[in-house]
Amino acid sequence: MADLSGELIDDRYQLIRQIANGGMASIYEAIDTRLDRRVAVKIMHPHLAQDEAFVNRFIREAKASAALSHPNIVAVQDQGWNQSGVPAVFLVMELVEGSTLREYLNERGRFEFKDAMNYLAPVLSALSAAHAIGIVHRDIKPENILISKEGRIKIADFGLARGEIIGSTLTVESSVILGSVSYLSPEQVQRGVADARSDVYALAIVAFEMLTGEKPFNGQTPIQIAYKHVNEDIPSLRSKRKEIPQALDELISRAAHRNPDLRPRNAGEFLSALEAIQGELDPKKNQMKLELDLPVDPIREIKPRTKIKDEIVQESSIEVKKNAKDIRRGEEKKLRISKRVRRNRKIALVLAIALGIGGWYTLVGPGSRIVVPSTVGGSYDEALSLLSPLGLTNVVVEKRFNEEIPAGTVIESRPSGGGRVETGEAITLVISKGAERYTIPSLVGLTPQAATAAIIKNPLIVGTRTQIYSDKIPKGFVISSDPLAGTQVRRNSTVNILISKGVETIPLASYVGKSGEQGLNELTEAGFNVESTYVFDEKVLTGAVVSQSPAGNSDVPKNSTVKLIVSKGSQYVYIPNIFSIQETSAVKALKDLELKVIVKKLGVKKIKQVTNISPKVGSKVKRGSKVTITVG
């Protein structure tokens, strides 16, 4: 495929330089002109763009990565077809500047077993996130595990991934051909099926290679290697290296078992087992939600009845009867009249005495006392408007709580309505104070003893005392009350108080010498804020923690900030031998070492080669130093 450097893809992505080239696609460093950021653009070779299966693989890679959000997975940001300029099917990915695990293996040969576990943990964490939503990678190998310059580990190339949320269009044959035979599980070779346990098998083979520096099976042809995966168990790690812990040897052997049912079910289970081994090797490792409404009317005074009329009526009836009986005897008539006159005289005397007594009672005696009007249901002012005209001005007010009658309403009077009082005698009005309520005082910041004293000043009861963590209220002081301050409550209500236990602290493990990625993930999960700073270090492995603050193996407040200083590896590089190499390749090789290249050109040759380099080959220089090459 021709080099497309300089092309503008989809009117957005300006290709800068080619950084990788494979049998299926080429990858370019590019600038997203719309968002002004550096990205990686993967462009399918033109002769494959007509093959629907390969195009579907591109689309599946975009879907798989888009379905995942994990710090250890290379993010795919865009996918499409170039509509203008060079025809191209492309993916736009996060640009990871660094190396592949394969390049690390080629350089180092093998890893120390603690370093290997630190590198495997973030890979397993990423695969665990994929397996949790049903996505299987199906092409785990060192070439697809990237390590950035800062030591961040990322899984790339979900092109062979499959799952319910992304679909599956590749045939069994094409998936086997596209996959790497050295890492294919027996079930993929025999039946062309793959699930999460197949990724576990592939990563176990990668772990074997990291720990021993070699693959478990070798052969002259891919068929021979595939045959061994199906019919042979991988060698014991301890047969290659005695210092490897027995538990780690057994875990890798189980993960690479030919029977998938005997392997860890998914990457999450594999990761848990690996972390358990790390915890055993390092015991200090951190083992890391009725209302009255009556009108007030003046009472009407009723005059006493007399018996005069009744007696006259009775006398008349008696007189009629007597006249009827004595009609025949005229002589006796005068005698009876005389008796009647005498009786009437007696009655008149009695009436006169009664009238005299009544007059005395009304004008001088008890009848002269004032009748008290009814004031119940009215206000105090309304009661005074009734009492004052009667001369009842000596009013005593008594207030009383009442749950049903509104405040300010007269509940009763003494004497009650209809009673009589002497002029100037006191009238007592009982007025409602409304419902009996007490206000919860503010207790925030008080000691429990002071809070208790404030509560019992009112007829309230101190309830439970509950302690919780607080990053705002010091230990031993009140955070809040239940009910809250200012709430109106009844007499004898219970008030519960919440007391601070102070700032919650949690154990902080030491990550010095361990993977910075592991520290970032575990500390964040434990509730810390992590700030990572990357520095050059001549002694500490790239990606490992040089130092941390606060120091490990101590208790620190939750949500506090932990600062990790992570190694970027050596600050120095050696000038490589690039004599007789073409100019573009030489410049790329030096820039990959983070060196600044100055090119001096001689002659008229179209394709120029390196004829001299300064500093000389093998010189140890700092990254970022200037290197001058002469080409001709």
Beta bridge partners of 91: 42, 79
The angle subtended at Cα 169 by Cα 167 and Cα 171, nearest 5°, is 135
Marked catalytic residue, from 115, 139, 195, 537: 139
DSSP letter for 409, please: B
For residues 405-419, b (16+ Cβ closer than 10 Å) or e, as one string? beeebbbebeeebee
DSSP letter for 240, please: T
Q: What are the C-alpha distances in Å from 471 to residues 85, 221, 475?
A: 60, 65, 9
Cα–Cα distance measured from residue 513 to residue 115, given in angstroms and rounded to the nearest whole number: 9
* Strand 145-148 with 153-155, pairing: antiparallel
Are the C-beta atoms of 515 and 118 separated by less than 8 Å? yes
Task: State the DSSP string of 426-489.
Answer: -EEEEEE--S--EEPPP-TT--HHHHHHHHHTSS-EEEEEEEE--SSSPTTSEEEEESPTT-EE
3-state DSSP call for residue 627?
strand
Active site residue 139: yes
* Strand 529-535 with 561-567, pairing: parallel
Cα–Cα distance measured from residue 347 to residue 350, given in angstroms and rounded to the nearest whole number: 5
* Strand 89-94 with 76-81, pairing: antiparallel
Are the C-beta atoms of 38 and 30 separated by less than 8 Å? yes
Name the residues annotated as catalytic.
Answer: 139
